Structure formats: structure tokens, C-alpha cells
Amino acid sequence: MNKSRMEAFSDGVLAIIITIMVLELRTPEGHEWREVVRLWPVLLSYVISFLYVGIYWNSHHHLMLTVHRVSGGILWANLHLLFWLSLFPFVTGWAGESHFAAVPMSCYGFVALMCAVAYTILVRAIIRADVSNHLLADATGRDLKGNLSIAAYLVAIAAPFFGYPGVIVSGLLLTAVALMWLIPDRRIERVLAREGGASSKH
């Protein structure tokens, strides 16, 4: 099965997710800077969510570079990831409009966690699909950043229920994970470079 349709569909869904988040931003009621400042929770939640969606788009692009064969299992795993990513507009709006209340923040952390879990499932599905996808298995190895992210998400889900300081901790953890993944993960690029070098020698 050709991977191009899955890539095109995924890109389209991610573009729609970002579009929905933008359309849900409300313009200030007045014409002063203070009207904009009042919207800071909504704007901040949008920026963080935009980073998350952008990071997954970038990671998904690199992931597809290692794929030579797509199976039905990969398609379902990919849809599973897109399902959780599609919930970002919902939790983004809820967290921002509630001024980062406990339940919306916990739900935001849960969606972020499930996106990470779904991405891991997709990686495993690609590796299992065919031996021709061995490059991804070579690249993943020990996933320290992934494990740290999941641990941070678990704390971010629980922390808001310990009062306002917990809400702050949750927000800081979610922001820290996004910033951590802004630093490109070079493992796949290194494996592809080695593969390209080996191929050119033959």
C-alpha cells in the first residue's frame, strides 16, 4: 500500500485542526491594548496547542521518511493518533476560556498524554508491519524524551486537583514538554543519512 495517501490525509487533518483553533479565537471587544491583555489565557493556550500540533506534524513527516510499506494496522494507528490530535481545539478553547481551571487543565494534559501514547503505538505498528521498515527500529532505540514526556503528562493531569499551585505546575510541565520537543530529534535523520551513505557505496 502506498504511503502518499496516508501522508496527504494526515497533513490535511492537521491543517484543519490548526484552522479550527484559529477560527475559535475571538477578537477583542474594544480597541485598547487592555482588551487584548484580557484575552491572554485564550492566546496562550492557542500558542501552546499550535506548538504541539506543529511538533506532531514535524515528527510525523520524519516518521514517514522511514516507511516503505503501509499496512492496514498502520492506517488504523495513524487514525488513532489523528483522533486525539483533533481534540486539541476542544481542550484549547476550554482551558483558555476557563482561565486554566483545574478540570480543563487536567483534560488538556490527558489529551496530550493520549497523543503521545497514540504516536508510540503508530511507531510500533510501522516497525511490525514489514522488515523494510527497519530504519525506524534502528532510529528509535531508547526513547528518553518520550518517557520523560509521558511522566510529565501524568503529573500534569493530576496536579491541577491540588489547588492553584498545581494548575501552575501543570501548565509549566505542558509548556516544558512542548519546548523540549522543539529541539529536533536527529535520530531518524542520522539513520537515514547512514542508510544513504551505505547505498551510495554500493
pLDDT at 85: 98
pLDDT at 131: 66
* Residue 28 DSSP class: P
Query: pTM of whole model > 0.95?
Result: no
Sign of the C-alpha dihedral, residues 156, 48, 43, 94? negative
pLDDT at 96: 94
What backbone torsions phi and psi does residue 39 show, to the nearest 5 degrees? Answer: -95, 10
Grid coordinates of 89: 481545539
Q: Report pLDDT digits (tens) over 7-46.
A: 999 999 999 999 999 999 888 887 888 888 889 999 999 9
Q: Report pLDDT digits (tens) over 110-167.
A: 999 999 999 999 988 988 887 666 667 666 666 788 889 999 999 999 999 999 999 9
Q: Which position has the grid cell 514489514? A: 130
Out of 30-39, 45-54, 70-79, least confident range? 30-39
